[in-house]
Structure 1
Amino acid sequence: MKKQINIGLIGVGRLGSMYAEFLSYRVPRANLYAVADLIPERARSIAEKYKVRKWYDNHHDLSADPQVDAVVCTATTVNHKAIILDAIVSGKPTFSEKPLTLTLSDARDIESAISRSGVFFQQGFQRRFDKGFCAAKQKIDEGVIGVPVIFRGSSRDPYLPSIDYLRPENSGGQIIDMAIHDIDIARWYMGEFKTVYAVGGVLAYPQVKEVNDTDNVVMVFTFDSGSLGEIDISRNGIYGYDIRAEVQGTKGALQAGYLRETPILVLTEQGVLHDTVPYFPERFGEAYVSQLNNFLDNLGEQKEPLVKISDGIAALQIAAAATHSLNTNSIVNIADF
């Protein structure tokens, strides 16, 4: 049996609690050794539930723990920079959820620290580990649909998060919060972005105006190859969690993603009915597990990370440019950011 790696998990809220379960039961190489959260009761509760040896109310003590071999960061994005830099200074290999940070300057500071230290870092983009999105990438690379010429991506959330979460100082704004995965997949499939033009507004939930954000955005892109792209994001996909990507090529097209959760159709005189994917834990649970297994396999076998910090920065750069386009009603060159 391969040696287990002692993991320190920082941030055990909604996503972090999922990661605690994954690391405890579904990632063989992981030993969830410590957890930390700014809310002490939350850290203590997770530690008790999963029989974690240590819990902390701050990330500094966890990163300084000599028994922690590697850090997994699932904390609120606004805290990512401090957590990652602290882990890097402590020499801990680190995995961080998306987005890397809320600002490009912070992301580039992290990149510089990693470059100087040589500490292993892997960026989290779980859609790259989803079976459907992976299969699409393989077909594109095999030339099955010819040369990709158009990308379309769509992310629709089933309900609105809290207004406090939506504040741009917490979420980064709708584009950074919601579209960063679509942007990463588009870049993975199509190559580097060249320009972006974004339009959006508050179309479904008037209360979003209170925090100067949007609830629906459409973005149009050009790529360095000359190919074209479009991504739409919505907070009001009230029918279910709807995540899709399509690539049109010179010899065909492919589509990744699905809306139906359970493989059953109910056919009656009223019509044909099926359920829908409730939200991201159900849709991408397996991808999150595969991502964590990949992180620890890369770490244990001294392989290059599949998703590097440069990928995290590139996606954030495009999202920042799109946000600027939205705010200025202008076409923006990605290279200017």
Structure 2
Amino acid sequence: MSAKLNVGVIGLGRLGKVYLRDLATRIPETTVVAVADIDRTLAAGLADEFNVPKSYASGDDLIDDRRVEAVVIVSPTHAHRANVVAAVEAGKPTFCEKPPALTLAECAAMSSAVEKTGTFFQMGFMRRFDPGYAAAKEKIAQGVIGRPVVFKSSSRDPFRPSLEYANPASSGGIMVDMGIHDFDLARWFMGDVDTISASGAVLAYPEMASIGDIDNAIATLEFADGRLGVIDLTRNGVYGYDITTELLGDAGTLRIGYLRETPILTMTTNNVSHDTVPYFMERFERAYTIQLQNFAQNVLNQRAPAVTLDDGVEALRTALAATAAHHTRQRVKVSSIQ
């Protein structure tokens, strides 16, 4: 392996473009040598923009490219299993964006391939790399707030995604596509979730019913040791992209997140105002870069992955349990989701 990691990127949608930009221009440890997307014209155009020597219309062709030493997968979720299995069976260190897949059966195939080949695999959960969330994790380890006893997390999108994107057949639905970040944070900060209940409805966008999904949801969690949590998700946080987490401890509280994008307040008669964070690409810009750099450094220095496939599987299991709880209106034991 070279001093820099030669990376291929599969999937060049809205997030794939961000990953390509970071890997090509912001991370000194990586060189992008190939990109792939089913839209061959898009792939070729982005390859030209970022001086990438090769573009492909399929992930398999990119994986077969001998110059590609590691693979970053940002394809639609339904394509993750095939891309991950092919990459690790080729012996190429692999990074895969969340969620790992849409079903636990697909995850099992991915886990089997990783275990059999021993190929390096890192899961993508960028919030763990956000400076605020990383600092909170460290403060908990230092005992600053004592023992956290209640976890609260809120994710509010400023608008709904396209119906094509939001369709549960390809996204997994709001609990999986959107909530999996919060479920991962719940496990990261508090440990495994034992039981979960959830309710949700179409409250803001009637058209969401046409694809069988909801636009607002609330989940309540009981962790394995009896501690508590609550997560709320909405597609209609029209005032801005609002991501917050609060950890209530027996000796203090941590609150993570911010809403103001630009550090300026406008103060006029009887009015104080500021702008808001536009969307996830602005809020977690640094986290995405740090996450990918961590992946490259782990591969080059032969370190263990910071986020494992098991982390992805258990976050997905929790999200699927929340989905089941919403549909059945019954409290669901997370371990019952197989």
**TM-score, length-scaled by structure 1:** 0.99
Match of 2:89 in 1: 89
1:133-191 CA distance string (max 9 Å, x none)? 01111111111111111000000001111111121101101100111011111111111
Instruction: Give matches, 1:3-152, under 5 Å.
Output: 3-152=3-152
Offset at residue 270 of structure 1 (A): 3.8
Instruction: Give matches, 1:146-295, under 5 Å.
Output: 146-295=146-295
1:7-54 CA distance string (max 9 Å, x none)? 000001110111111011111110000000000011001100001010
Q: Equivalents in 1 of 2:270, 2:110: separation in Å?
A: 56
- Local SS of the residue matching 1:231: strand
Q: Equivalents in 2 of 1:322, 1:234: separation in Å?
A: 15
Structure 1 unaligned spans of 5+: none
Q: Equivalents in 2 of 1:219, 1:21: separation in Å?
A: 35
What residue identity is the alignment partner of 2:292?
L
Q: Equivalents in 2 of 1:216, 1:7: separation in Å?
A: 38
1:203-224 CA distance string (max 9 Å, x none)? 0010101011000000000001
- Local SS of the residue matching 1:258: coil
- Local SS of the residue matching 2:251: coil
Structure 2 unaligned spans of 5+: none
What residue identity is the alignment partner of 2:302?
Q
CA contact (8 A) 1:13 1:42 kept: no
- Local SS of the residue matching 2:146: coil
Q: Equivalents in 1 of 2:166, 2:5: separation in Å?
A: 36
CA contact (8 A) 1:11 1:76 kept: yes
Q: How many residues align?
A: 336
What residue identity is the alignment partner of 1:5?
L
Match of 2:305 in 1: 305
- Local SS of the residue matching 1:9: strand
Q: Equivalents in 1 of 2:146, 2:335: separation in Å?
A: 28
CA contact (8 A) 1:71 1:87 kept: yes
- Local SS of the residue matching 1:154: strand
- Local SS of the residue matching 1:286: helix
Q: Equivalents in 1 of 2:292, 2:168: separation in Å?
A: 28
Match of 1:332 in 2: 332
Task: Report sequence identity in percent.
Answer: 48
1:107-156 CA distance string (max 9 Å, x none)? 11101110010000000000000000011111111111111110000000
Q: Equivalents in 1 of 2:108, 2:83: separation in Å?
A: 15
What residue identity is the alignment partner of 1:76?
P
1:64-113 CA distance string (max 9 Å, x none)? 11110000001111111111111112111100000010111101110111
Q: Equivalents in 2 of 1:147, 1:29: separation in Å?
A: 38
Q: Equivalents in 1 of 2:109, 2:325: separation in Å?
A: 24
Q: Equivalents in 1 of 2:213, 2:162: separation in Å?
A: 12
1:231-260 CA distance string (max 9 Å, x none)? 000000000000000000100111001111
Note the aligned Cα RMSD (angstroms).
0.8
Q: Equivalents in 2 of 1:148, 1:99: separation in Å?
A: 26
CA contact (8 A) 1:247 1:255 kept: yes
Q: Equivalents in 1 of 2:170, 2:89: separation in Å?
A: 25
Q: Equivalents in 2 of 1:54, 1:151: separation in Å?
A: 46
Q: Equivalents in 2 of 1:81, 1:7: separation in Å?
A: 19
Q: Equivalents in 1 of 2:133, 2:291: separation in Å?
A: 13
Q: Equivalents in 1 of 2:59, 2:177: separation in Å?
A: 23
CA contact (8 A) 1:194 1:221 kept: yes
- Local SS of the residue matching 1:3: coil
Q: Equivalents in 2 of 1:287, 1:50: separation in Å?
A: 21
Q: Equivalents in 2 of 1:289, 1:164: separation in Å?
A: 28
CA contact (8 A) 1:200 1:326 kept: yes
What residue identity is the alignment partner of 1:252?
G
CA contact (8 A) 1:36 1:59 kept: yes
Runs of 4+ in structure 1 displaced over 6 angstroms?
none
